[in-house]
A and B are shown apart, each in its own frame.
Chain A
Amino acid sequence: MGDPSSVATFQFGGLTFNAANIYSGLIAFVLVFLFVFALSRHITMKPGKGQNILEWLIDFTNGILKGSIPGNETGAFGLYGFTLFLFLFISNQLGLFLQIAVGGKDFVRSPTSDPIVTMTFSLATLMIAQFAGVTKYGWKKHFSGYLQPFVFWLPISIFEEFTNFLTLGLRIFGVIFSGEMLLKIIGGLAFSHGIATMIVAIPLELVWQGFSAFLGAIQAYVFVTLSAVYISKKTEIGD
């Protein structure tokens, strides 16, 4: 893993696709949907177990957004934040218990351990931020925000957008990628010298898996929080 030759690729419609990303992405999407679908079956005034979990999750992600975005503007981004959080969370955890490699090529792993995937979401967040800024203030006022505090700040503003995009995507990628890398190394260690190394490696693997699960949750939270921060920055330049 990490080695480009370890992923199977295929061509479709003139585009190159990474098989591991497609499969694991599909699994994550389906898992998220099934999770939400299963919990939202019997929606009643008096919430049942599933509905309680779902309502708590919605409150949680709305709370993240409300922490950064002032007023009632969170409503528009609530669904994005909710879906993003669930998808990133499940993606981060996916590779911890399910990694399938066939013939030295990965097929299922954490989708977020590929920078392309995480950058897709960071790009989506920044596009939403731009869009929100334009809809709230109009083209002129929105882009005049790049000239604040003075005109020559423009290169720095543009560079800031670019670094925001990179750091938002690469942060989660780095954490998940390194976590899975270490899991694989410990796994390789376990099978290297028979029983003796296995006994040493299994507790290590357990500890690292637990830590990675924690990191995966934190990273999903951080990603949504930073998304909210970037969106709020674009929707309150006037203030």
Chain B
Amino acid sequence: MFSHLAVASSLAIGDMLFYAICFIILMWLIKIVAWKPINKMMQDRADKISDDIDSAEKSRDDAAKLAKQRQDALANSRHEATSIVDSAKKQGQQQRDGILADAQTDAQSLKDNAKKDIEQERQDALASVRNDVADLSIEIASKIIQKELSADDQKALIDSYIEGLGK
């Protein structure tokens, strides 16, 4: 064991140099081949992940904003629809009232006209009846009493009768 170490120490420098140089070369090669690109990729990945997290946060905010907008628009349109329906109802009510009032006034005027016509008719009918009765009674009276009676007298007589009838 000790003899081995003693002999080995006489060999030391060459082997040590060889290993030291080879190790440095190996480190350099690994640095070029793997260490740098992989560390760079790991760094890139870390950056990308943090970027993704940020952008996800942002899109979540955007989505929330959009949803709120939609909600607002929905509420707005509902409100608008309610107001439209209300105004339509009001208009309809107004129209109905107008039509009803018109119809009432029309009916009233028709009724008045009809009353007036009826009155007129009655007056006319009364007048013609008066005349007819007067003529008839004159004719009858002249036939009966064969006495000429003045038409005006007769008429006055009939009128007084009719007046009595009217009361």
Q: Residues of A with Cβ closer than 8 Å to B?
A: 2-4, 9, 12, 15-18, 21-22, 25-26, 29, 32-33, 36-37, 39-40, 43-45, 47, 51, 54-55, 58, 78-80, 82-83, 86-87, 111, 114-117, 119-121, 123-124
Contact of B125 with A by CB under 8 A: no
> How far is B14's CA from A16's CA once the two chains are assembled, in angstroms?
5
**Contact A40/B14 with A25-B22, A29-B26, A87-B23 known, Cβ cut-off 8 Å:** no
Q: What is the CB-to-nearest-CB distance from B16 to chain A, in angstroms, rounded to a whole number? A: 5
Known contacts A40-B38, A54-B38, A79-B30; A18/B19 CB under 8 A: no
Question: Among B8, B16, B37, B48, which residue has its beta carbon within 8 angstroms of that of A40?
Answer: B37
- When C-beta atoms are compared, the residue in chain B nearest to A12 turns out to be B14
Q: Which residues of B contact A29 (CB under 8 A)?
A: 22-23, 25-26
In the bound complex, do residue A15 and residue B31 qualify as a contact, i.e. CB atoms below 8 Å apart?
A: no
B: residues with CB less than 8 A from A are: 1, 3-5, 7-20, 22-23, 25-27, 29-31, 33-35, 37-39, 41-42, 44-45, 48
Cross-chain contact A120 with B20 (CB below 8 angstroms): yes
Closest residue of chain B to A37, judged by CB? B33
Q: Are A2 and B4 in contact (CB under 8 A)?
A: yes
Bound-complex Cα distance A9 to B10 (A): 11
14 more A-B contacts (CB under 8 A) besides A45-B41, A83-B23? A2-B4, A4-B8, A15-B13, A16-B11, A36-B29, A44-B41, A54-B38, A58-B42, A79-B31, A79-B35, A83-B26, A87-B23, A116-B19, A123-B16
Interface residue from A44, A47, A54, A111 paired with B34 (Cβ < 8 Å): A54
A-B CB contact pairs (8 Å), 21 listed:
A3-B4, A4-B4, A15-B14, A15-B17, A17-B18, A22-B18, A36-B29, A40-B33, A54-B38, A58-B38, A78-B35, A79-B31, A83-B30, A87-B23, A114-B8, A116-B8, A119-B16, A120-B16, A120-B19, A120-B23, A121-B23
Could you tell me the distance between the alpha carbons of A78 and B10 in the complex, rounded to whole angstroms?
A: 33
Indicate whether A51 sits within 8 Å of B11 (C-beta atoms), given known contacts A25-B19, A36-B33. Answer: no
B12 — nearest CB in chain A belongs to which residue? A116
Interface pair B45/A116, CB less than 8 Å apart = no
Instruction: Pick from A32, A55, A120: contact of B42, CB below 8 A.
Output: A55
Tell me the minimal C-beta distance from A186 to chain B in angstroms: 20
A26 & B7 in contact (Cβ 8 Å cutoff): no
- Find out whether the CB atom of A116 lies under 8 angstroms from the CB atom of B34: no
Q: Which residues of B contact A36 (CB under 8 A)?
A: 29-30, 33-34
Min CB–CB distance B7 → chain A (angstroms): 4
Contacts of B8 in A (CB 8 A): 4, 18, 114-116
Give Cα A32–Cα B27 distance, bound, in whole angstroms. Answer: 10
Given known contacts A4-B8, A9-B11, A25-B19, is B27 in contact with A51 (CB within 8 Å)?
no
CB-contact partner of A116 in B16, B29, B39, under 8 A = B16
Q: Given A32-B26, A117-B19, A120-B20, are A40 and B11 also a contact pair (CB < 8 Å)?
A: no
Known contacts A4-B4, A79-B35, A116-B16; A17/B27 CB under 8 A: no
- A36 CA to B32 CA in the complex, in Å? 11
CB < 8 Å neighbour of B7 from A4, A22, A78, A87 = A4
B18 shortest CB reach to chain A, Å: 6
Nearest chain B residue, comparing its CB with the CB of A46: B45
